[in-house]
Amino acid sequence: MSYEVNNYPSSLDKKVTLLMRFKSYIENKHSIKLELELKPKDKGNEVLELVYVKKWIHIGHAIVFRLSNKVVQVNFKDRTEMVMSLETREVTYTNKQGERETYSFSNALESTDTELTKKLNYTKDILTYMLTSNQRSESTYSL
């Protein structure tokens, strides 16, 4: 079963409000159009895994999204984009011309494309920052 953004159960009020604010932020900041479709987790006997943003950070020259399916997406201010999958160990890079190419982690690190390697290193620094700040947050709240 699917729901439309203007017709959904009241139990989803908080989530829809958050999605709409997030959608507005992305569209205003990055001129990206997002299509929102809400799907329940149960569809007959089949259980759907809903992918969602676990954490995001707007830092320096990029906005970084850590998704629930172990994918990290980085949208850079210069309109380039990097999507990294921990499961497939691949990086998909979209350059300024909109050309998209997928590399294994090892091939991406050894690439002669200086923009790609520069963005990979920047992304590594951001992810390191996210991990260390997350560990500090967790240790602050541990009992």
Strand partners, 91: 84, 103
Looking from the CA of 95 toward its CB, the CA atoms found within 13 Å total 11
pLDDT, one tens digit per residue, over 4-31 is: 778 888 888 888 888 887 777 666 655 4
Check the CA dihedral 53-71-31-123 and report its sign.
positive
pTM above 0.95, yes or no: no
**Every domain range in the chain assigned CATH 3.30.1120.30:** 52-143
Residue-level pLDDT at 84: 92
Range of lowest pLDDT (15-19, 34-38, 63-67, 113-117): 34-38
**Euclidean distance between CA atoms 74 and 82, whole angstroms:** 5
What pLDDT shows up at residue 40? 54
The pLDDT assigned to 138 comes to 41
Tell me the pLDDT of the chain averaged across its residues.
78
CATH classification (class only), 52-143: alpha beta
Reply yes or no on whether the pLDDT at 69 is more than 90. no
**Which pLDDT does position 23 carry in this prediction?**
73
Residues constituting the chain: 143
Q: What is the DSSP letter of 85?
A: E
pLDDT tens-digit profile of 93-120? Answer: 999 998 999 999 889 888 888 999 999 9
Q: State yes or no: pLDDT of 35 exceeds 60.
A: no
**pLDDT given at position 1:** 64
pLDDT in the model for residue 26: 64
Mean local confidence (pLDDT), 43-67: 77
The gap between the terminal CA atoms of the chain, to the nearest Å, is 41
